[in-house]
Structure 1
Amino acid sequence: MARYKMIVQLDPGEGREDAFLDFYPQTHVRDILTVPGVLSAQFLRRVHAISDAGPHEWAYMVIYEVECDDPKELQDAMVAGMKSGAIRADFDLLKAERRTVFYEALTDVLSGTTAGTVGGADVG
């Protein structure tokens, strides 16, 4: 099985941020963690954008680490869990636009001590 990062970008609906923050990290993300193959999750809030993100700048993101043979099958299992009620989701708390993408790692995780130099300056 391969490991992937599943990135979910989303925004709360207008006037729903408090309810969104009460529900999504505490309930929905934890329910997703019960799906076989979902190993970990971290819920994040955007605090600064270095460049224009284009037509949509997402305020929140969840990074899941997953392990599976086929990301589409894992996504289908999550959708089935939401349809059955095993994974609680409240789409009324969200803006209609959201984005979910699976990424595969092309390198090991690098740190300042393994990165080397940038522009002749020692970064490690």
Structure 2
Amino acid sequence: MPKGVMVIQTSPSDPSREDEFNEWYSNTHLPEVCEVPGIVAARRYRVLDDTDPARHSYLAIYELEADDLTATLKELRARTASGQIGLSDTLRLDPPPSIAIYELLE
């Protein structure tokens, strides 16, 4: 079965709401995303050098195992569009989160 990672870069909508953003992301969003078939694990990271305001300040890496790795992202987007995965107003959408899927090379 193919393996890979989905890398998502995000930021809080307002630096004064960073704690609220982290609470939502870690305790609500991450568990909802991890219910998507093909996502087997997740970890979050914070950038150490936050001097560039244009750069996203958080990174989530989701481990994937699926016959079609891109189907996982399609399902994530479908669940978000339907409201099954909720978004928070603490998530910065301009610029939007950056999302990429990488396939494991063996």
**TM-score under structure 1 normalisation?**
0.72
CA-CA distance at 1:85 after TM superposition: 2.6
Question: 1:1-124 residue pairs with structure 2 within 5 A?
Answer: 1-14=1-14, 15-48=16-49, 56-90=54-88, 92-96=89-93, 97=95, 98-106=97-105
- For the 8 Å contact 2:11–2:92, the answer to whether it is kept is yes
Q: Which runs of 5+ in 2 are unaligned?
A: none
Partner SS, residue 92 of structure 2: strand
Select the structure with the greater relative contact order (CA < 8 A; seq sep ≥ 6).
Answer: 2
Q: Which runs of 5+ in 1 are unaligned?
A: 108-124
Partner SS, residue 22 of structure 1: helix
Distance in 2, matches of 1:105 and 1:72, equals 13
Higher strand fraction (1 or 2): 1
- Supply the AA of the counterpart residue of 2:105: L
Distance in 1, matches of 2:74 and 2:5, equals 16
Identity over aligned pairs, percent: 32
Q: Which has the larger Rg?
A: 1
CA-CA distance at 1:64 after TM superposition: 0.3
**TM-score under structure 2 normalisation?**
0.83
Higher helix fraction (1 or 2): 2
Distance in 1, matches of 2:86 and 2:46, equals 21
Superposition misfits of 4+ residues, deviation over 2 angstroms? 69-72, 83-86
Aligned length: 103
* Structure 1 vs Structure 2 CA RMSD: 2.2
